[in-house]
Amino acid sequence: MACIEARGLRKAFGTTIALDGVDLRVEEGHILGLVGPNGAGKTTALHAILGLTPYQGELRVLGRDPWAERDQLMRDVCFIADVAVLPRWIRVSQALDYVAGVHPRFDRAKAEGFLAKTTIRRGSRVRELSKGMVTQLHLALVMAIDARLLVLDEPTLGLDILYRKQFYDSLLNDYFDRNRTIVVATHQVEEVQHVLTDLMFINRGRIVFECSMEELESRYLEVTVHPEKVAAAQALKPIRERQAIGRSILLFDLMTLDKVDHQQLVGLLSGLGDVRTPGIADLFVAVMGNQSVVAQRVVTQGVVSQGAGQ
Amino acid sequence: MSTQSNAISESFQSHSAAPATIPATRVFYWSVRRELWENRSIYVAPLAVAAVALFAFCLSSFVGIWEAPLRLNQAHAQAPFDMAAGLMMLTGIVVSVFYCLDALHGERRDRSILFWKSLPVSDATTVLAKASIPLVILPLLIFAIAVAMHWLMLLISSAVVLASGGSVATLWTNSSFLRTSWLLLYHILTAHALWPAPVYCWLLLVSGWARRATFLWATLPLIAIAGVEQITFHTWHFATLMGGRLVGAAPTVASTSPDMFPTDPMTHIMPGSFLSSPGLWIGLAFAAIFLAAAVRLRRYREPI
């Protein structure tokens, strides 16, 4: 049963086309990462799924039409946009009261339990909390809702690394199970890589790449090539080559090398250097090719931050 | 849609746990609570004005014990009470106008609309909850505070009269508080809720539509229409019509004397003529149109 099913989803703001015929199918129990440069249409796609924006084309979320039935749909769907959407005037206790008052699937005790693990006080207003605490509060509210689909739009933007790690850890350990589905749009791809089950690249309103993480691991390999074997490696036609700290790093798509047996191929590549699964950011650059300057810029940042992390 | 999609929808609903619904009244109740949390001025402003007015009344009463000119004039004993009620109503108008202009604008400005819309609350419930503040909550609040003020002022007057050696009997028999209270309630609900309803609903609509400067968008078109009318026909009908809507020149009382102080027991209230006046129903029809437009608009609205 598909949790989200879209066919020919289109949306234009004036002359700008935000979604250009998106076909999408997200199965129940999956965690989908939606990756793309700024302005690629990620937020528009998520807003269409949440019934926040009208669209053309066919879209069913949990069997409902989101634009026509937003309020009913929201009994089963939760949404966290970037950290700044909780009203700044609301007190923590008021937020709990309100959600308990209007949401039929909210378990207040559960939310209190999550909050007890933080330093957030019941009487504080949101404006008095740090960014990280606001996200913790929002996550506590959302995790206490027995929803079927959770949509996250840059949920950890502007948070420090500890809060970001904690955010995804709680999500995986305390929330996610096989009956729930999560869709997350983010730029911080390295952090979600181990969380995702599926990956989707979106650019200029189109889905340009999609695969499961298992497929990604078996299909793409990144080799840090020994200097003397660079020529041999290049002969195998990598889909991308980059330099890092004086070494050539080549990314291979094993599907394009289908003349050789998979095992043999992995063996062959291992002989050329250190083999590992590529990061999402590198794959993104390779897949996008030199499609646009925007893609280049965004991913260069990703590569730099990844390089710094090593 | 198709039978297939219905089947999908059903299978999803049966899959989920308990039949989870919350009565619409409870959702509405919490939506109104939320408005009061966000806009504390709704009750703080009238209470503050009442406190200041009471303080002034106290001062003038006690000074009146020694200073004859300030002494409560028995012949016009009603005047301060009318003033207090009038002050409350004026406060109510000011608070309502500012509340309405911000109601659907603030949530877009601070992006919290994304949070509110992520909860199972319909746009209609939200907009109606917001409309209920100037149309129901504030009028009742204003009435309650005004009545409480009347009682306190009566007690203060009694204390003053006793202190200056007089008898409170005349003071208490002259003032028919129950009757005055009923008149006040009638006046507030008609002249300050039903009659100006289209104005408040218009302000709500503009606050949901304008990206910025809600006050300008709400008033400038009306001023422009009045100006065009004046230049073209040399009349002020539109301006008079609009002005009369807000400050309660409603045909609630004897139509011969549109009374500013209907708490005067001599006034004959005429609910029949008010309820049968076309102005009321035309206004309410406009109010309903504005509210429906505001509900529809909120569906499309995103943070600004």
Give per-residue pLDDT as tens, A277-306: 888 888 888 887 745 544 444 444 444 444
Residue linked to tokens 């790449």 = A209
**Smallest CA–CA distance from A99 into chain B, residue:** B119
Determine the pLDDT at residue A306.
Answer: 45
Distances in Å between the Cα of B21 and the Cα atoms of A74, A95, A103, B24, B146 are 12, 19, 8, 9, 39
Interface test with B, best of A4, A71, A80 (most B CBs within 10 A): A71
Give this complex's ipTM.
0.85
Q: What does the pLDDT average to over A154-169? A: 86
A157 with A229, same domain: the answer is no
Residue A209 lies in a domain: no
Chain B: give the shortest CA distance to residue A199, in Å: 24
Residue A300 lies in a domain: yes
Determine the pLDDT at residue B258.
Answer: 40
**Smallest CA–CA distance from B32 into chain A, residue:** A98
Structure tokens at B278: 């076309």
Residue A6 lies in a domain: yes
Q: How does residue A264 score in pLDDT terms, banded at 50, 70 and 90?
A: confident
B33 at interface of A, judged by CB pairs closer than 8 A: yes
Contacts of residue A64 in chain B, CB cutoff 8 Å?
9, 12
Determine the pLDDT at residue A125.
Answer: 95
Alpha helices in chain A (DSSP H): 42-49, 70-73, 92-102, 108-116, 131-143, 161-170, 189-192, 213-219, 230-234, 262-272, 280-288, 293-309
Interface test with A, best of B40, B109, B118 (most A CBs within 10 A): B118
pTM of the model: 0.84
A14 with A88, same domain: the answer is yes
Give residue A156's domain range: 2-204
Residue A210 lies in a domain: no
A236 with A183, same domain: the answer is no
Helices A131-143, A92-102: axis angle to 10 degrees equals 20
SS3 at position A22:
strand
Contact call for A78 and B114, based on CB within 8 A: no
A172 with A235, same domain: the answer is no
CA distance A71 to A62: 13
Would you give per-residue pLDDT tens digits along chain B (304 residues)?
444 444 444 444 444 444 568 899 999 999 999 999 999 999 999 999 999 999 988 888 877 766 655 555 555 566 777 888 889 999 999 999 999 999 999 999 999 999 999 999 999 999 999 999 999 999 999 999 999 998 898 888 888 888 777 777 766 766 667 777 888 888 888 888 888 999 999 999 999 999 989 999 999 999 999 999 999 998 888 888 887 787 655 555 444 344 444 444 444 566 777 788 888 899 999 999 999 999 999 999 888 8
Which of A1, A76, A88 is the closest to B16 by Cβ? A76
Which of A52, A72, A146 is the closest to B120 by Cβ? A72
CATH code (residue A135): 3.40.50.300
SS3 at position A108:
helix
Contact call for A102 and B111, based on CB within 8 A: no
CA distance A40 to A44: 9
A62 with A153, same domain: the answer is yes
CA distance A48 to B92: 40
A140 and A111 Cβ atoms separated by less than 8 Å:
yes
Strands A198-203 and A31-35: parallel
CB atoms within 10 A of CB B86: 15
Q: How many CA atoms lie within 13 A of B179 on its CB side?
A: 12
Q: Of A182, A204, A226, which residue constitutes the final position of a domain? A: A204
A239 with A129, same domain: the answer is no
User: Quick one: how far is CA A140 from the chain centroid?
Assistant: 20
Interface test with A, best of B13, B115, B296, B301 (most A CBs within 10 A): B115
Q: What does the pLDDT average to over A205-214? A: 89
A108 with A144, same domain: the answer is yes
**Smallest CA–CA distance from A67 into chain B, residue:** B299
* Number of domains chain A is built from: 2
- What percent of chain A stands above pLDDT 90? 40
A130 with A170, same domain: the answer is yes
Q: Of A145, A177, A204, which residue constitutes the final position of a domain? A: A204
Which of B13, B111, B120 is the closest to A102 by Cβ? B120
Give per-residue pLDDT as tens, A234-247: 877 888 888 888 78
A3 and A149 Cβ atoms separated by less than 8 Å:
yes
Determine the pLDDT at residue A1.
Answer: 66
Residue A298 lies in a domain: yes
A255 with A200, same domain: the answer is no
User: Quick one: how far is CA B179 from the chain centroid?
Assistant: 22
Q: Of A181, A204, A227, which residue constitutes the final position of a domain? A: A204
B111 at interface of A, judged by CB pairs closer than 8 A: yes
In the A/B pair of chains, how many CB contacts fall below 8 A?
A: 107
A238 with A91, same domain: the answer is no
User: Quick one: how far is CA A59 from the chain centroid?
Assistant: 20
A134 with A159, same domain: the answer is yes
